[in-house]
Amino acid sequence: MESTFGLEIYASNKLAYAGRARSLVVPVEDGEKAFLAHHANVIVAIVPGELRYEDADGNKVVAAVSNGFVEMINNRAKLFCLSVERPEEIDIRRAQEAKERAEEQLRQKQSIQEYHMNQLALARAMTRLRVTKNL
């Protein structure tokens, strides 16, 4: 139990995980960031991508996350994302369609605002597909 920390993962519609964890890897702007027990106090912004954590029994879990943030304070991590989806919850065909739609939209002329929205949609769809690849 020495090398674990408290982890709570909140999605907007459910509590995805609450318990002890050995490690946590989150996607950030310039790659990934890993947390182990007794990490310094930090708050990190998360970009859409693949989230990995290892619980106290050593089970490795993968999930697709959207925008959010994680706070690591006093060896307790709290992660907030609008959506946290396990591979088995993801509808592959829907994600594929979303990806194609976003790519199609990105080819059109559009405002900066729309461009960013579609880029985010594309990132979400691609993460979902990547996470489900190993199913």
Partner 1 sequence: MANAREIQSRIKSVQDTMKITNAMYMISSSKMKKAKKVLEDTEPYFYNMQAAIARILRHIPDIQHPFFSVRHLVPQQERKTGIIVVTGDKGMAGAYNHNITKLTDEFMEKTPGYHKLYVLGMVGRQYYEKKSADVDGSFRYTVQKPTMHRARLISEEIVRAFLDRELDEVHIIYTQMQNAAVMEPVDMQLLPLKKASFSPAQIPVGAPQEEIEMFPSADVVLDTMIPNYLTGVIYGCLVEAYASENNARMTAMQSSTDSAKKMLQDLSIQFNRARQAAITQEITEVISGAKAQRRK
**Chain residues in the site for partner 1 (CB under 8 A):** 8, 10-15, 28-30, 33, 40-46, 67-69, 71, 73-74, 78, 80, 82-83, 113, 117
Q: How far is the CB of 108 from partner 1 (least distance, A)?
A: 18
Q: How far is the CB of 19 from partner 1 (least distance, A)?
A: 15
Q: What is the largest CA-CA distance in the chain?
A: 55
Of the pair 28, 106, the CB lying nearest partner 1 is at 28
Q: How far is the CB of 130 from partner 1 (least distance, A)?
A: 21
Of the pair 36, 60, the CB lying nearest partner 1 is at 36
Task: Report whether 54 contacts 77 (CB < 8 A).
Answer: no
Of the pair 67, 119, the CB lying nearest partner 1 is at 67
* 97-to-19, 93, 94 alpha-carbon distances in Å: 35, 6, 5
Q: How far is the CB of 58 from partner 1 (least distance, A)?
A: 27
Per-residue tokens: 101? 């739609």
Close Cβ partners of 79 (under 8 Å, ≥ 6 residues apart): 7, 8, 9, 10, 24, 26, 46, 51, 65, 68, 69, 70
